[in-house]
Structure 1
Amino acid sequence: MSYCSPASSSFLNYIDESQLFSAIGGITFITLTIFWYILRSYTFFDKHHITARAVRPKAPFGNIKEVINQNTSLYIYLWKYYNKFKRQGNKFGGFFLFLKPGILLVHPALTYKILTDKKLFEDVSRKNQLELEDSKKISKMFDKHALENLILKFENLKSQFIQNIGSDNDPSWCIYNFLVETSCTAFGFKFEKNLKSIVDRMVEEKTSSNLSHYFHLVYPYFVRKQTYKELKIYVQAVIDSRKKNDTREYDVIQNYIDFLNEDVPPDAEKLIIEEILDIFIDNIHQTYSAVSFCLYELASNCEIQLDLIGEIRRFNKANIPINLSNSHQLIYLEAIVKETLRKYPPIPLVTKRPKRDYINAEFDLKLPKSCLVFTSIFGIHHDPSSYLDPESFDPDRFFEDNVKFLKPNTYIPFGVDYRKNIGFSMTLLHIKLCIFTILSSFKVSLTDERKTVKFDTKKLTTFPKEPLPLKFEEIK
């Protein structure tokens, strides 16, 4: 028999017809089930009578394809819809992350209610969900002594920084390295090259906007929590060294050592050290971002910069080093830093998840437990109903006589949880010290005045897309 005959070449001779039809039926069933599930997911807002929503979603990305492709960042994307929903008079609106419904809050009262409701909502932005007592213990670790230690370490390192920034071809990188070193030493670490590499990697992981981040956001059971294993080794080395040499410092790690002496349960010990290290990483990238944008705004607004240099000169005439008590005398510097944090909030977005089904009759909002709820801090800070001409850089908004005119709960650069206190103490102080140090010695200007600042779409937080076009001229 010929192997080339039509009968022998038919694939049906080798396949059981019943199995073939079963396979086709199975594939068809799976396809229809997936199609049904997608349609069912995308009718969420219709079922919940939410009329304000983003454009029609498309599987598999929903409404965030541009974010996944890194053509825009999520906080800029939601800022656009915050403006749209508010313009239409909506209190909230909806969009889809993959197949997951997300609610973007717009109404100020509803926004603040959900942001501050710890009983019914958990903060997805935070790796650890802390009890009130634990958060109080952590806040105490960033006490007056820890802040004074930051100033001391800063003063010890600033002369080399001034020398470097005056001669470095890449001032942005010089500033970043300096902030990493001052953060490390202020927290209690011994700064070294290997530690710097670990910190750089942690900052990159913490701030990267990628498919993995959004997948974990939507499907939290796949999340692999950051345990800071490598940094814990450095913390333990500091603890062992101080015990061995019977030494005591006034820094965050020392406060943690004192905390351990209170006979802490292992679970609480693990939770708190991870939270401290998370704050440590946040302080670095938030400070660097704010300093970069502040210098850009000062270079773009010469009159503001000259007024600030004048204030710093008057302060320096007393020949008294800056400290925790007298730093508040730099009123214009504080206003400039606060305006920077308004225009470029270090936490531009907060994501919450209901702990159970949530109903708010006042705002006609019904949310299932599986839904995600977003607050656009960037949107609130750039809202014309909260700030006159919000795109302009105007530090006068934060002068004492003008602050009383700011609407409540419209200035939240560090969110509203317990970490805002750490942000408004340690991070704010770190930013002020850096700007004060630079403008004590240099004027800053733009190398290319045609260049406008662009946000890095590969970052979750407000970061400049590329090194800012800055040059530093020594003040004679």
Structure 2
Amino acid sequence: MGVVLDDLWTEILLFVATVTLVITLYFRISYQYWAKKGVHTIQPRFPLGNTNMILPKGFSVGILTKKFYDELKQKGLKFGGVYFITEPHLVVVDPDYIRDIMSTDFQYFVNRGFYHNKKNDPLSAHLFAIEGSDWRNLRIKLTPTFTSGKMKMMFHMVIQCANYMKEAIGGTLGQDIDIKEVMSRFTTDVIGSCAFGIDCNSFKYPDAEFRRMGQKLFEYNLWESIQAFFMLNLPQLSLKLGIPSNKKDIQKFFMTTIRDAVKLREENKITRRDFLQLLIELKNSTDFTLDEVSAQAFLFFVAGFETSSTTMTFALYELAKNPQVQEKLRQEVCRVSEKYDGQITYDGVMEMKYLAQVVDETLRMYPPLATLNRRCSKDYTLRDTNIKINKGTRVLISTLGLHMDPDFFPDPEKFDPDRFSDENRAGRHPFVHLPFGDGPRNCIGLRFGQMQSKIGVATVVKNFRLSVSPSTKAIIFDPYVFLLCSINKIYLKAERV
């Protein structure tokens, strides 16, 4: 009996040793990928590769990619290799190479390489994630919905939501204002009105289901953060594992809300001048499906809700910290508004150059999308090198790294909207400020996002003088979320002008 047990334990130990050896060899071979190509590699560690820098502490790829950018830049390198687990990624630092990838040689880098599952997870099959001819055809269909004419059509809806916000702030004078909460309610109202035809007024009804689902969409526990990391950075593995892109109740709510809204309008011949109406017209005039309508309306919510609310939050925070900048902006907003009977109008906002500079500088310091992703769609050789990037290789561009690089933006921690004057902008490489990406696959909704942010900031500054509350702690980026935002609440105080 003892001999049999000894033999069994010997076999188990041999099996474990063999498996360990095979896994170790697999990782060692995988970690030689970039070295064999002659690409400098940031040293990976078993078993997480270069993600060991964040996985024990959080899952923000934006913060991680900036670490890669800084290390490569300090060594004078234009690009370098890293590994997410064992999957090789190329981190591009040089703005000329970034221009090649995003614009000049775009045909080699059409796709972002993100998770999407049109069949089993229809809300994930939106313009941001889909690939190849599916993306190209959908982009062509949707581009007319984001023209300046369409933005002007929806302007009055955004202004109505801004008036709700103005009334709410007016009722909290002298108190600590959680400015992110205020901006989140404002963007909820804007998107509810412009994308879904719903008058939310979340300032009056903060517990409405539309508002609650918006909040839940961006709340991650530890396990959900891990799932999000895999979907964004290891999409093929996520598909095999069957990881869903959203919680089931969120998927059900948005699919039901959108389908019911479409049905109501079509059966009762209701038309509104909003984004959903434009999607319905697409559905009725092309082969655009109801699932595609749902996915694009959902993307409008996801992209517009958190990015714009975060941008406005940081803009107002910096204006509160810098009263001279705040006063200069207020003077411009009031001066231009006087030309339009004291009202904030579409044409007036387009004339507010300093307002645009304030928003651009905010997006420089706090880009919501801190990393841009591309995936090589066919073999590509980096210009002036013999280094071939194979089809399927993922490419990372650190927006945050570029934006905080003192070579491009001296004294980068300083909030200085004059960086974006016409003169200063002209003297800078065009691919070092990329809050909306660039090239054919830039953010299709950038005009709407900018319009919403400008209206929100202009409305607040025109009516209130802001200061930072002593309750506000230092800005620390939340390591557990995909988009760049503060883990600490930002409290401001407001008084009427």
The reply to whether TM is greater than 0.5 is yes
CA distance in 1, matches of 2:479, 2:447: 29
**Aligned partner of 1:138 among 126, 136, 142:** 142
Q: For structure 1, which segment, 114-123 or 455-464, has the greater mean C-alpha deviation from structure 2 after superposition?
A: 114-123
What is the correspondence of 1:150-299 to structure 2 with a 5 Å cutoff? 150-168=154-172, 169=176, 170-191=178-199, 193-204=208-219, 210-216=225-231, 217-223=233-239, 224=243, 226=245, 228-264=251-287, 266=289, 270-271=291-292, 273-299=294-320
AA of the residue aligned to 2:296: E
> Residue 63 of structure 1 contacts residue 98 of structure 1 at CA under 8 Å; is this kept in 2?
yes
CA distance in 2, matches of 1:235, 1:98: 38
Which residue is 2:415 aligned to?
393
User: Which secondary structure state, in structure 2, belongs to the residue aligned with residue 64 of structure 1?
Assistant: helix
Q: For structure 1, which segment, 91-100 or 143-152, has the greater mean C-alpha deviation from structure 2 after superposition?
A: 143-152
- TM-fit CA distance, 1:71: 4.9
Number of residue pairs aligned between Structure 1 and Structure 2: 460
User: Which secondary structure state, in structure 1, belongs to the residue aligned with residue 432 of structure 2?
Assistant: coil
What is the correspondence of 1:44-443 to structure 2 with a 5 Å cutoff? 44-51=33-40, 53-54=41-42, 56-71=43-58, 73-116=60-103, 117-121=105-109, 122-125=111-114, 126-129=128-131, 130-144=134-148, 146-168=150-172, 169=176, 170-191=178-199, 193-204=208-219, 210-216=225-231, 217-223=233-239, 224=243, 226=245, 228-264=251-287, 266=289, 270-271=291-292, 273-318=294-339, 319-360=341-382, 362-418=384-440, 420=442, 422-443=444-465
CA distance in 1, matches of 2:438, 2:338: 38
AA of the residue aligned to 2:309: Y
Which residue is 1:454 aligned to?
476
Distance 1:78 1:421, change over 3 A: closer
User: Which secondary structure state, in structure 1, belongs to the residue aligned with residue 14 of structure 2?
Assistant: helix
**Identity across aligned pairs (percent)?**
23
Which residue is 1:6 aligned to?
none
AA of the residue aligned to 1:194: E
AA of the residue aligned to 1:176: S
- TM-fit CA distance, 1:435: 0.6
AA of the residue aligned to 1:235: I
Normalised by the size of structure 1, how large is the TM-score?
0.88
Distance 1:244 1:358, change over 3 A: same
- TM-fit CA distance, 1:205: 6.2
User: Which secondary structure state, in structure 1, belongs to the residue aligned with residue 456 of structure 2?
Assistant: helix
> Residue 466 of structure 2 contacts residue 494 of structure 2 at CA under 8 Å; is this kept in 1?
yes
Q: For structure 1, which segment, 303-312 or 194-203, has the greater mean C-alpha deviation from structure 2 after superposition?
A: 194-203
- TM-fit CA distance, 1:132: 2.2
CA distance in 2, matches of 1:423, 1:76: 24
User: Which secondary structure state, in structure 2, belongs to the residue aligned with residue 444 of structure 1?
Assistant: strand
CA distance in 1, matches of 2:482, 2:288: 34
CA distance in 2, matches of 1:120, 1:144: 30
- TM-fit CA distance, 1:209: 8.2
Q: For structure 1, which segment, 424-433 or 126-135, has the greater mean C-alpha deviation from structure 2 after superposition?
A: 126-135
CA distance in 2, matches of 1:245, 1:324: 31
Distance 1:190 1:265, change over 3 A: closer
Q: For structure 1, which segment, 435-444 or 320-329, has the greater mean C-alpha deviation from structure 2 after superposition?
A: 320-329
CA distance in 2, matches of 1:76, 1:180: 27
CA distance in 1, matches of 2:311, 2:494: 18
Distance 1:112 1:194, change over 3 A: same
Distance 1:453 1:440, change over 3 A: same
**1:148-195 alpha-carbon deviations (Å, 9 max, x no partner):** 344212332333322322344533312211211111111133245222
**Could you say what the CA RMSD is over the residues aligned between the two structures, in angstroms?**
2.7
User: Which secondary structure state, in structure 1, belongs to the residue aligned with residue 34 of structure 2?
Assistant: helix
**1:44-79 alpha-carbon deviations (Å, 9 max, x no partner):** 23222223x32x322222222232123573222322
Distance 1:151 1:391, change over 3 A: same
User: Which secondary structure state, in structure 2, belongs to the residue aligned with residue 288 of structure 1?
Assistant: helix
Give unmatched runs, 5+ long, in structure 2. Answer: 115-127, 201-207
CA distance in 2, matches of 1:350, 1:100: 17
**1:440-473 alpha-carbon deviations (Å, 9 max, x no partner):** 2111111129843221111222211221131112
CA distance in 1, matches of 2:19, 2:424: 62
> Residue 139 of structure 1 contacts residue 418 of structure 1 at CA under 8 Å; is this kept in 2?
no
CA distance in 1, matches of 2:161, 2:135: 37
Q: For structure 1, which segment, 361-370 or 293-302, has the greater mean C-alpha deviation from structure 2 after superposition?
A: 361-370
User: Which secondary structure state, in structure 2, belongs to the residue aligned with residue 243 of structure 1?
Assistant: helix
> Residue 319 of structure 2 contacts residue 326 of structure 2 at CA under 8 Å; is this kept in 1?
yes
**1:387-423 alpha-carbon deviations (Å, 9 max, x no partner):** 2322221111222333322222222111125564534
CA distance in 1, matches of 2:93, 2:330: 39
> Residue 162 of structure 2 contacts residue 455 of structure 2 at CA under 8 Å; is this kept in 1?
no
CA distance in 1, matches of 2:48, 2:107: 31
> Residue 299 of structure 1 contacts residue 444 of structure 1 at CA under 8 Å; is this kept in 2?
yes
Q: For structure 1, which segment, 280-289 or 400-409, has the greater mean C-alpha deviation from structure 2 after superposition?
A: 400-409
